[in-house]
Structures are given as structure tokens and as C-alpha cells.
């Protein structure tokens, strides 16, 4: 499929999102800056692209708009063809998750103050970031992958500081930019070393020759730099310090997109880049990486990723326990969740990939939703500290219950999607035997630890008396929006996320089935 | 294409470029100098692609390496443009582009 029509069919969701972004900027130039217009275009674009991706995944009711035939999915590119991209059902699952995150954030942001400037910039950059995320899920070449990540990164740097007012967002943008630029440099340096070692940047060729390379030192260094570069994007400890400041300083809707959406780009990149090395098991046992002889890259990579995963979840959870501010607490909890997802690739079995992907879905709905609630509640005049939320359960019962469900889902309480995803993930890790059982134990202990700070929030919200009148932080009482002060868009986004959390918690097979099928296809491709 | 410079010498050059760039990122307090440091580090990767293209197993993958280098030069320019946009906004808001003065967000 190299003709124009074939390309258009393959890239239909990307074209829709790109068109939405360009239309938003065009409307801005033409002077149409109404929130409903620009926001509507962006939300409709991500919604339409979401339906297209679901159709390509084989979702029966949408078969009429399917653009990629079933035969063209999950086919590894032919040797020597080097088309840079390929369509896999695993990538499509991630595309659906990315688009869901963009849709929720776009929808919720429709409830912003209509007189505040910057709406076209916000929605245009949101669509561009989404475009980069969609391209990441199609990559079959390391350079294509890294450049797609950079499309997302460049858009999100600007998204953090798009208001151009107030020092906090601008400082967050500056920190985000410096860390992001350094990490992308490390990634590209790693890619250049891998190119030197293997003579190719095609991920399938890399996977095929990993371990049988003439320059093992170059390969090890290359993968090491790549781990460091991608770990920054995925907020893995010890590369996590920026995330808390950025999530804290950014406009909260943008934080929701960063935590719920663009961070998952790094997770998918980890799956794509490291499945090959992890799977490669050389029969002769570990050789000496500094001799020219072939050596076993698999166990080294697995151990490295496993250690990173345990470090990330532990440090994230412990620091979250100490936080007094709501956004920073959620940011640390987001860091610890990245550790759970990394377990999936450290183990490297079809079941663990499915578990990690399901965990990503949990995180999109629960963490993205939680940040959207925080943004809405801040609009009600509630301060940034956890203690400022006391008694919210009696003043805003519906919002509080939705928030509680999101936190319970993050903690992994039964009947929420978080329980289902953690169950699938940890049972897959235990099934892998060996020292992976200890990884699962570490994960379970961490889940128990995380319950403490989620429970503390719930106690403050539901059991403590409201703050005395007049103690509203932020000065004057804000203008009352429809739908309980949140606005229709935000209320709708929160409601959809909450319903999905409970529905998929009660009946996980609806999402788990396609994810497991996609993960096993992906595994078969990588082997 | 490798005349006059050994394999070790060339890798040492790109490693030194990366080290200089990262050192600059860690020590510079001026945002614009920081951008320059990042670009120096980025050039190490670009140089590697050009150099390793000479050792590629096939002529096609050698061209891949050189094409990648050109694309990365373009990407580096884009990255700087975004960085300068942030510098301008920051300068307008605060009147200073000193990174060390960024203390609004506590660590």
C-alpha cells in the first residue's frame, strides 16, 4: 500500500487529528476564537479518530467506517522494505487510549472561562500532541519512533506554558523543556550508537540481530542511553524529579493530559524498543560484553527494567505519602503507576504485556479523571492543599463520589477497573516465576502502601467537617457554572470516566479481551 | 571517508561533544547558553550517524544514516525554536532568563 489512497486509509485517524489541529489554527487566524468553535473542532476530531481506530480494531458496530483491512494488521514489514511504520492491533489499542485521553481533556476544557484567551492555542497544541502520540503507535523504526515522541514533546512543552501569564506555568514549561530536550538528546545518541552497532535503526532488524552483534559495547551503551532518554519521558525513578514540578505548575487540564496521555507514549516506546532485546535469549549463557563474542542481552535488560520498575513504584508511593498538596500527591502517585506498567515489559510475556496495557487504561481513566476533578474543584474556589478539600463530600456529593471511585480504582479496590488491571498484571508477573515473583511481591506491597494516602484523601473529603465559611482560598467566590459548578463539558467527561471505571471493573472482559488478543499478536511479531 | 581519524578517535570526539553539552546543561544558569549546550550534545548524535553510515552493511543503510543526520539537524532547529519561544515568554513575565531564579515551584 504505497499509493496515495492506501496511505490515506492507513493514516486516516492521524489525518483527522492533523486536520482538526490545522483548522483550529486557521480559525484563530481568521479571528474565530469562540471556545465552542475551536474546542468543538478539536473534540470532534479526537472523537472521530477514536471511532476510526475502534473500527480498525474490528469493533463490529463500526465496521462501515473501517479503513484498514484485517489482513493489513499485524503483518511485520518485509525485510529490506523499511517502510518506517506498520499497523499492529497493539498499536491501535494504544491509539484508542491516547485518543480517549485527548477527548476527555478536550471535553472537560470546554468548561473553561470563555473570556480567557488562549483557547485556540490550547486546542491546537492538544491536537498536535495527540497526532504525535498516534504516530508513536505506528512506528517500526527507531528514528520514526523518536521523532514522533518529539512531536508530542514539543507540543506539550508549549502546552504547559500556553497561558503566558503567571510565573508558575512558565517555569514549569522551562523545566519541562530543559529535561525533555536533554532526554531526547540522550535517546538520539543511544539510537546513533545502535545504528553503529547494527547498521540499521529498523526495530524488527534490531530485534532479529540483538545479541549477535560484533560490537556489544556499542549495543549496550546504545540501549543504556535509550533507557535513560525514555525513562525521563516515562517519569521513572531516578529520572522523575521534573514530573512533580511540571504537573504542579501546569494548568490542571494540561496536567491531566500529561499524566493520563502523553506519559503513556514513553510506556509504549519501552514496549516497542525493548521487547526484542528482552526476548532474545542466547543459548550459550551470558558471554562477556566486552569481547567480540555474542552475548545474552535479555537477562541484563530484564534485570535493569525490573530494578527501575521497583524503584519507581516504591519511591513514588513513599513520596506521595508525604505530600500535602493535591496535585503533587497525584503526580507522585502517577510516578508510582509508571512502575507498575514497566513491570509488564520487564517480564516480557504476552500476559504481562496485556496486564500493563490494561493498567494504562486504568490510569487514563482514573488519573486523567482525577486531575480533571481537581481542576473543576479548584474552579469552585477550593485551595491546593489536601486539607482544603475537607467536607467536600457533603457540599458536592456527586463530584466527591466520582473522585472517590477514581482514587479507589488507583488503589486497586475490587469492583473498579484498577482491581481488574492489577490482578491481570500481577498474576502475569507471578506466572513468570524466578525472581519475578519478588517483583510481584514488591508491587503488591506498594499497592498496600498506596492505600494509605488515598484513604487519607477520602477521610478528609467525606469524614471531616467543611471549612468554616469565609475560609475559601483564592479570594472571591467564583462565578457559578452549570452542572454543579463544574460546567457541562467537565461534568460529562468526569461522568463518562467514572461510569467506565465501574463498568469495566464489573465486566473487565469487554476491554481485556481485545487487549489480550492485541498483546499476543504483538508478542508474536517481536519474537 | 575515515581518512586521518581512527575509529577510536572519532568515537572519542562524539563522546567529548556529548560530555561538553551535558556539562554545559548542568552548569550554565543562562537559558540561552543552556540551549546552546543542548545543541552541542545533539550534534554528537548527528555526527555519529554520519560517521557510522560509512560502516553500514549495505549502501542503502548507509544512505539511511546520512538522511537521518539531515532530519535530525532539522529537528534540532525546531527544538531551539520552541526553546526560544519559552525564553521570550519567560523574559517578558519575569525580566530575567536566569534558570537559577526559577524558585516558584519547590522541589
A107-to-A228, A273, A327, A486, A489 alpha-carbon distances in Å: 34, 33, 20, 12, 5
Q: pLDDT value at position A208?
A: 65
How many whole angstroms separate alpha carbon A443 and alpha carbon A337? 10
Closest chain B residue by Cα to residue A170? B90
The confidence band for A314, taking pLDDT boundaries of 50, 70 and 90, is very high
Cβ atoms of A369 and A501 within 8 Å: the answer is yes
pLDDT per position as a tens digit, B2-50: 455 577 788 899 999 999 999 999 998 899 999 999 999 999 999 999 9
Rounded to the nearest angstrom, the minimum Cα separation between B104 and chain A is 6
Domain residues for the domain of A198 are: 4-526
User: Does the domain at residues B9-95 carry the CATH identifier 3.90.25.10?
Assistant: no
Among A175, A188, A200, beta carbon nearest to B102: A175
CB contact A376 to B (< 8 Å): no
Q: pLDDT value at position A523?
A: 84
Strand, coil or helix: A367: helix
Closest chain B residue by Cα to residue A218? B11
How many whole angstroms separate alpha carbon A491 and alpha carbon A477? 20
CB contact A322 to B (< 8 Å): no
Name the interface residues of B facing A (CB cutoff 8 Å). 14, 18, 21-22, 25, 31, 34, 38, 41-42, 44-46, 48-49, 51-52, 55-58, 60-61, 64-65, 68, 71-72, 75, 78-79, 82-83, 85-86, 89-90, 92-94, 99, 102, 104-105, 107
What residues contact B61, with CB distance under 8 A and at least 6 apart?
A199, A200, B53
> CB distance B79–A154 less than 8 Å?
yes
Q: pLDDT value at position A434?
A: 79
- Total count of domains within chain A: 1
Cell numbers found for residue A513: 479481551
What residues contact A379, with CB distance under 8 A and at least 6 apart?
A111, A478, A481, A485, A486, A487
- The interface residues of chain A toward chain B in range 190-249, judged by CB-CB distance below 8 A, are 191-193, 195-196, 199-201, 241, 244-245, 248-249
For cell 550534534, what's the residue? B43
What ipTM does the predicted assembly reach?
A: 0.93
Instruction: Output the CA torsion B5→B7→B9→B11 (10° steps).
Output: 130
Cis bond upstream, residue A136 (ω within 30): no
Rounded to the nearest angstrom, the minimum Cα separation between B78 and chain A is 9
Q: What percent of chain A has pLDDT over 70?
A: 89
Task: Taking residues A26-39, report their average pLDDT.
Answer: 90
How many whole angstroms separate alpha carbon B49 and alpha carbon A191? 9
Cβ atoms of A206 and A142 within 8 Å: the answer is yes
CB pairs under 8 A between A and B: 115
- Does the pLDDT of residue A285 top 60, yes or no? no
In degrees and rounded to multiples of 5, residue A325 shows phi and psi of -95, 140
Which residue ranges make up each domain of chain B?
Answer: 9-95
- Does the pLDDT of residue A408 top 70, yes or no? yes
- In eight-state DSSP terms, residue B103 is -
Amino acid at each position: 500500500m504505497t499509493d496515495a489512497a492506501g496511505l490515506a486509509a492507513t493514516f486516516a485517524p492521524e489525518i483527522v487529528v492533523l486536520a482538526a489541529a490545522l483548522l483550529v489554527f486557521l480559525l484563530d487566524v481568521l479571528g474565530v476564537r469562540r471556545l465552542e468553535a475551536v474546542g468543538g473542532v478539536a473534540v470532534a476530531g479526537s472523537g472521530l479518530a477514536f471511532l476510526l481506530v475502534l473500527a480498525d480494531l474490528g469493533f463490529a458496530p463500526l465496521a462501515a467506517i473501517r479503513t484498514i483491512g484485517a489482513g493489513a494488521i499485524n503483518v511485520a514489514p518485509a525485510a529490506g522494505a523499511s517502510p518506517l511504520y506498520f499497523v499492529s492491533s497493539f498499536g491501535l489499542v494504544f491509539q484508542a487510549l491516547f485518543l480517549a485521553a485527548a477527548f476527555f481533556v478536550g471535553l472537560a476544557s470546554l468548561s473553561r472561562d470563555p473570556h480567557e484567551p488562549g483557547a485556540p492555542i490550547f486546542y491546537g497544541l492538544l491536537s498536535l500532541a495527540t497526532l504525535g502520540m498516534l504516530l508513536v503507535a505506528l512506528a517500526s523504526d527507531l528514528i520514526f519512533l523518536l521523532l514522533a515522541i518529539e512531536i508530542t514533546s514539543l507540543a506539550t512543552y508549549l502546552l504547559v506554558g500556553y497561558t503566558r501569564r503567571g510565573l508558575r506555568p512558565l517555569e514549569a514549561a522551562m523545566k519541562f523543556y530543559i529535561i525533555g530536550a536533554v532526554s531526547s538528546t540522550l535517546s538520539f545518541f543511544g539510537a546513533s550508537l545502535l545504528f553503529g552497532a547494527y547498521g540499521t535503526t529498523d526495530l524488527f532488524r534490531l530485534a532479529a540481530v540483538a545479541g549477535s552483534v560484533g560490537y556489544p559495547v556499542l549495543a549496550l551503551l546504545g540501549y543504556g542511553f535509550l533507557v535513560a532518554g525514555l525513562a525521563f519521558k516515562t517519569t521513572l525513578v531516578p529520572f522523575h524529579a521534573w514530573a512533580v514540578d511540571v504537573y504542579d505548575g501546569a494548568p490542571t487540564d494540561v496536567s491531566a493530559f500529561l499524566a493520563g496521555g502523553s506519559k503513556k507514549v514513553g510506556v509504549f516506546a519501552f514496549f516497542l524498543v525493548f521487547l526484542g532485546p528482552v526476548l532474545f535469549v542466547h543459548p550459550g549463557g551470558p558471554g562477556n560484553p566486552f569481547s567480540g563474542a555474542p552475548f545474552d542481552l535479555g537477562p541484563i535488560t530484564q534485570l535493569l527494567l525490573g530494578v527501575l520498575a521497583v524503584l519507581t513504584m516504591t519511591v513514588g508511593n513513599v513520596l506521595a505519602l508525604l505530600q500535602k498538596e493535591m496535585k503533587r500527591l497525584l503526580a507522585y502517585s502517577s510516578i508510582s503507576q509508571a512502575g507498575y506498567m514497566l513491570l509488564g515489559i520487564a517480564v516480557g510475556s504476552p500476559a504481562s504485556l496485556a496486564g500493563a496495557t490494561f493498567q494504562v487504561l486504568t490510569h487514563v481513566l482514573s488519573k486523567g479523571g482525577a486531575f480533571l476533578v481537581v481542576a473543576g474543584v479548584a474552579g469552585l474556589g477550593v485551595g491546593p492543599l489536601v486539607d482544603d478539600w475537607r467536607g467536600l463530600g457533603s457540599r458536592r456529593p456527586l463530584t466527591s463520589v466520582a473522585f472517590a471511585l477514581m482514587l479507589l480504582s488507583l488503589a486497586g479496590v475490587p469492583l473498579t477497573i484498577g482491581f481488574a488491571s492489577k490482578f491481570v498484571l500481577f498474576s502475569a508477573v507471578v506466572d513468570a516465576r524466578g525472581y519475578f515473583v519478588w517483583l510481584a511481591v514488591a508491587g503488591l506491597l506498594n499497592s498496600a502502601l498506596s492505600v494509605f494516602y488515598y484513604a487519607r484523601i477520602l477521610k478528609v473529603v467525606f469524614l471531616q467537617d467543611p471549612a468554616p465559611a469565609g475560609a475559601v482560598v483564592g479570594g472571591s467566590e467564583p462565578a457559578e457554572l452549570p452542572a454543579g459548578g463544574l460546567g457541562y463539558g467537565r461534568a460529562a467527561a468526569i461522568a463518562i470516566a467514572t461510569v467506565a471505571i465501574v463498568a469495566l471493573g464489573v465486566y473487565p472482559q469487554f476491554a481485556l479481551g481485545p487487549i489480550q488478543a492485541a498483546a499476543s499478536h504483538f508478542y508474536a511479531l517481536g519474537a | 571517508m575515515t581518512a586521518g581519524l581512527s575509529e577510536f578517535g572519532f568515537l572519542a570526539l562524539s563522546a567529548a561533544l556529548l560530555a561538553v553539552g551535558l556539562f554545559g546543561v548542568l552548569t550554565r544558569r543562562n537559558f540561552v547558553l543552556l540551549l546552546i549546550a543542548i545543541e552541542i550534545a545533539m550534534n554528537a548524535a548527528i555526527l555519529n550517524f554520519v560517521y557510522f553510515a560509512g560502516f553500514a552493511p549495505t549502501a542503502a543503510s548507509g544512505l539511511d544514516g546520512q538522511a537521518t543526520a539531515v532530519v535530525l539537524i532539522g529537528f534540532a532547529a525546531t527544538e531551539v525554536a520552541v526553546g526560544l519561544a519559552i525564553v521570550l515568554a519567560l523574559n517578558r513575565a519575569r525580566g530575567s532568563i536566569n534558570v537559577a531564579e526559577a524558585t516558584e515551584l519547590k522541589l
